[in-house]
Chains A and B, each alone.
Chain A
Amino acid sequence: MSTSEKTRIVGTAVPRKEGVDKLLGRARYLDDIEREGMWHGATVRSAIPRGLIRAIGFDRRIDWSEFTVVTVADIPGRNHIQLINADQPVLADGMVNHCEEAIVLLAHADKHKLREAVDAVNVEYEPLKPVLTIEESERQDTIVWGADNVLKSFLLEKGDVDAAWAEAAHILEGEYRTGAQEHLYIENNGVIAERNEESGITVWGSLQCPYYVHKSLLAVLDLQEDKVRVIQTETGGAFGGKEDYPSTLASHAALLAMKSGHVVKMTYDRMEDLAATTKRHPSRVRHKTALDGDGKLLAMDIEVATDGGAYTTLSSTVLSRATLHSPGPYVCPNVRVSSKAWATNTVPYGAFRGFGAPQAIFAVERHMDEIAAVIGMDPVELRRRNFLHDGDTTATEQVMREPVILDKLLDRALAESDYYERRKRFAQENPTSSVKRGLGIAAFYHGAGFTGSGERYLNSLAGIDVTPDGKVRVLVANTEFGQGTNTILSQIAAESIGIEYDDVEMAPVDTNVVPNSGPTVASRTTMVVGKLIERASLQLVGILRVRAGLKGDFTRKEFFAACERLRDQDGEVVSLCRYEAPEGIFWDDQMYRGEAYPAFAWSVQVAQVAVDMTTYSAEVEEFWSVQEVGRVLHPVLAGGQIEGGIAQGIGYALYEKVVWKDGRMANNQMTNYIMPTAEDVPQIHVFFEEIPCRFGGCGAKGIGELPHDGPAPAILNGIRDAIGVGFNAIPLLPEDLFAQLATQELKAEVAAL
């Protein structure tokens, strides 16, 4: 469809496809599924962060003949989860590299007998010195991964950074840190595995990427492609947390099912899920920036370090996205980003909404405010002077060919938040109040779709078919976990064909039924897969016109009648399309240069923050978010994505702290890992500027990750505005605020002596 066309279904708030099932409580999540004679699985995990396994003993108080016990010796294929590198074992083989690493698997018919049995497996270790932080890993005196502890590194260079310092009016340096963040989907990880002599292994799971799981199971079980089947069940939240981990859990359940001959269910309780599964990568980003006398950027020298944990998982692509987002939405002639993901002996970090961008954007957007303070410029003005515009090039020399409307987004954010009036009011009120208020801004982009050549490599296939009972079915491996995949893709198909929303349904996400349309990650589903559904829909209409007599402006009845005529000829009505890279989009993997993303989503956010100087607690009182995400396909779902992402971003900034003790998460409970509640989330105002994007399904760009990128820097900038002190690390809990302020006061007192 042309991007300016009027739409009937796209842009309206049709009911969520699976909404009624969810509201009636009849949607079937993994743990709601019971099978006759089903067994339950459990995992014996490493108690230490690093060491050799000397012996595994089975206490005699347990009648082990009742159990199925799986060790590394029972793995028929490769002992590696298949992600980017094959370095993560399914079960530890003689050595453990992080706490909670799986060592032995147990299954029993009675799930209540498993806990005692897990405790009765005695693993004897010879502990080795662990590496637990980025700094310890960087020292390289203890090597825990490869030759140098470096999981991945990138060097991005534009212009000549070193030559720029001499001509600079200002040179400013800063260091910014972010902590781990837990996804805290309300449904924990879970799978069911069933073995069948003829059909092989079938796995049902709460998961994002069925074909990732499929790939790992093929390798781990050494089975032919048609002997592995993966089916997604209703998924109660994911946020990236069910991108890579289900490959591990599915492998475990499948091994138990293969050995026991029983259907095996494995579900984690909250404590196990928090302790053993992935989280957002902690980061440390250093900026050194040169500006001229007008506040224009001359050079940005950026060093990104992330903690990747014990194995590679997705750390290299997370690092790539962090690298590409680290210079922010600004024009700068000279940029150097040197980035490294470091191995440590912690649970591997994985995908989480934003995928490296929130860490990088926290740093650059905090840094901009520190620069503004030092050179005495309004942080709004500093951003405005350096914003990217149409025709400018990014750090990777990507030319901005699509409209870039950062100025407009900024103006709207300032107007909607009444920014200058409020700041004036706070400046008057703060001196006499123990609660100090401030406003903070963050401006940013989020690249939609896989980074660089990713979409070319994925080579996704997706489409539609028409069932004999007159429904168009969307055939994708992309999963619904709350974001609205089912609804959005159905809207695109209905709109593109010219039928009703209710004429479209989703095919089950079952690798025996749907093609590999790629993973449900990277804000790619609506934009990239949506475009495939749009093309497949138009392609079907074209075929029906040529081969089945569909004419002119057809009715839905005429469409389905034509489908039946096509079925008479072909036996089926199917239309599939494969990804084609948009022309002019090319990425050079070797040089790390080119079109990093086919499209960017843009946003400016404003946070109003109140800091209580008696309790040292910072609170977000109101929040504004203006964004350009292409065409908004569904106003309710789009608004929900933005608000939900902001709430997680507020948690990331002020509430959610993973407490580590000797390499283990010490607060692996909802009681002490705190996310924002209904009482903590402020009033959030969401505004869209719509510019349909020609590369996206019905003009949409990616939306899901964008809103999580801005809240942390906006909030900490707001705190700086309120109390005049810049904080450079998150999460910032009251005790952290207190510690830094108390130290500063002490220093000031000492200096005054």
Chain B
Amino acid sequence: MSERLIPSNPSISFVVNGEKRTVNAPGMKRLLDVLREDLHLTGTKEGCGEGECGSCSVRMNGELVNSCLVPALQAEGATIETVEGLGEAGALHPIQKAFLECGGAQCGICTPGMLMATAQLLAVNPHPTIGEIREGLAGNLCRCTGFKRIFDSVIAVAAGEMNAEMEHGTGGAHAG
């Protein structure tokens, strides 16, 4: 068993969505795979595997990271937030509510990463300008929306609109 010559899977502990978790995984295993395979947190998606698309974005120690580029060992002792920690059925996080109301999610595959990037952006800058929103989300690719309704979603959260129930029909295109 030549594999045994390589140091066996070390024990790696970190906090995910407020819960302490320990996994035994190869140190260079991607955090993305640890989340999806070891912890069954499949909300975090793989889009490109090389840090370009941002689908695998999670928050780690208050920073936005591409979890496909983070080796598991680097997560030792870290605090990690994924989409699963954002809100829950019946109690959507304001960001989730905004994306639902404003049409910020279409096919949904970039959405978990986009939500985490939005959470990061608003944590650092609660009232971003449109330019700051564009810059803050530039590492997260969406092929469906053309981004406009994602910007609308972020603006709605920043404006505090998501704390109250939004009426149906807001965020719609001008009908003539």
Contacts and interface: CB of A to CB of B under 8 A. Distances in A.
Interface in A632-690: 632, 635-640, 642-648, 669-671, 675, 677-679, 681, 683-684, 686-690
B19 interface: no
A280 interface: no
Contacts of B169: 12-13, 635
A640 B106 contact: yes
Interface stretch (A24-32, A140-148, A456-464, A526-534): A24-32
A611 B100 CA distance: 37
A640 B103 contact: yes
A32 B83 CA distance: 14
Contact of A643 (B111, B134, B149): B149
B45 A29 contact: yes
A23 B176 contact: no
Nearest to B176: A689
A412 B86 CA distance: 42
A675 B83 CA distance: 25
Contacts of B87: 23-24
A678 B140 contact: yes
Contact of B148 (A14, A28, A184, A684): A684
A211 interface: no
A636 B47 CA distance: 26
Given A15-B101, A23-B92, A635-B173, A270 B47 contact: yes
Contacts of A23: 87, 92, 96, 99-100, 105, 108, 111, 115
Interface stretch (A96-104, A232-240, A736-744): A232-240
Nearest to A11: B175
Interface stretch (B5-13, B48-56, B156-164): B48-56
B4 interface: no
Given A13-B169, A635-B173, A675 B141 contact: yes
B149 A687 contact: no
A326 B105 CA distance: 34
B149 A639 contact: yes
B143 A675 contact: yes
B1 interface: no
Contact of A186 (B83, B138, B143): B143
A54 to B, nearest CB: 34
Contacts of A642: 173
B43 interface: yes
Contacts of B100: 15-16, 19-20, 23
B10 to A, nearest CB: 18
Interface in B35-53: 36, 40-50, 52-53
B111 A22 contact: yes
A600 interface: no
Nearest to B107: A482
A605 to B, nearest CB: 13
Contacts of A684: 146, 148
A644 B108 CA distance: 14
A124 interface: no
B147 A681 contact: yes
A188 B144 CA distance: 14
B175 A688 contact: yes
Interface in B88-137: 88-89, 92, 96, 99-103, 105-112, 115, 133-135, 137
Contacts of B44: 25
B150 A678 contact: yes
Interface residues of B, number: 65
Contacts of B92: 20, 23-24
A167 B50 CA distance: 61
Given A185-B107, A187-B109, A32 B172 contact: no
A679 B135 contact: yes
A619 B147 CA distance: 16
Given A12-B168, A15-B100, A671 B50 contact: yes
A683 B147 CA distance: 10
Given A23-B96, A681-B147, A14 B45 contact: no
A688 B176 CA distance: 5
Given A13-B171, A31-B46, A688-B173, A640 B143 contact: no
Given A19-B105, A632-B175, A669-B50, A25 B142 contact: no
Interface in A322-372: none
A534 to B, nearest CB: 21
A269 B30 CA distance: 15
A670 B53 contact: yes
Contacts of B140: 678
A734 B172 CA distance: 35
B84 interface: yes
B145 interface: yes
Nearest to B47: A186
A157 interface: no
Interface in A481-499: 481-484
A150 B82 CA distance: 52
A12 B168 CA distance: 7
A601 to B, nearest CB: 15
A397 interface: no
A24 B109 contact: no
Contacts of A648: 143, 146
A41 B111 CA distance: 28
A639 B49 contact: no
A690 B168 contact: no
Question: Of residues A237, A269, A484, A686, which shows the largest number of chain B Cβ atoms within 10 Å of its Cβ?
Answer: A237
A643 B173 CA distance: 10
A690 B176 CA distance: 7
A681 B146 contact: yes
Question: Of residues A25, A484, A638, A687, which shows the largest number of chain B Cβ atoms within 10 Å of its Cβ?
Answer: A25
A483 B106 contact: yes
A635 to B, nearest CB: 3
Contact of B144 (A13, A635, A640): A640
Contacts of A483: 106
A236 B109 CA distance: 5
A237 B105 contact: no
A635 B46 contact: no
Given A29-B109, A642-B173, A678 B96 contact: no
B138 A679 contact: yes
A188 B107 CA distance: 13
Contacts of A635: 169, 172-173, 175
Contacts of B82: 25
B108 to A, nearest CB: 3
A482 B50 contact: no
Nearest to A643: B146
Nearest to B87: A24
A22 B105 contact: yes
B148 A681 contact: yes
A684 to B, nearest CB: 6
B144 A237 contact: yes
A239 B49 CA distance: 21
Given A12-B168, A482-B106, 16 more contacts: A16-B100, A22-B111, A23-B99, A23-B105, A24-B43, A26-B43, A234-B108, A236-B45, A632-B173, A636-B173, A643-B148, A644-B144, A645-B146, A670-B50, A681-B148, A684-B148
Interface of B: 36, 40-50, 52-53, 55, 82-84, 86-89, 92, 96, 99-103, 105-112, 115, 133-135, 137-151, 168-176
21 contacts: A18-B108, A20-B100, A22-B108, A23-B100, A25-B41, A25-B43, A25-B83, A25-B86, A184-B141, A237-B106, A482-B107, A635-B173, A636-B171, A640-B103, A645-B146, A647-B147, A648-B146, A669-B52, A670-B50, A677-B139, A678-B133
Q: Which 8 A-B pairs have the closest CB atoms?
A: A25-B43, A236-B109, A635-B172, A482-B107, A22-B108, A639-B173, A647-B146, A482-B106
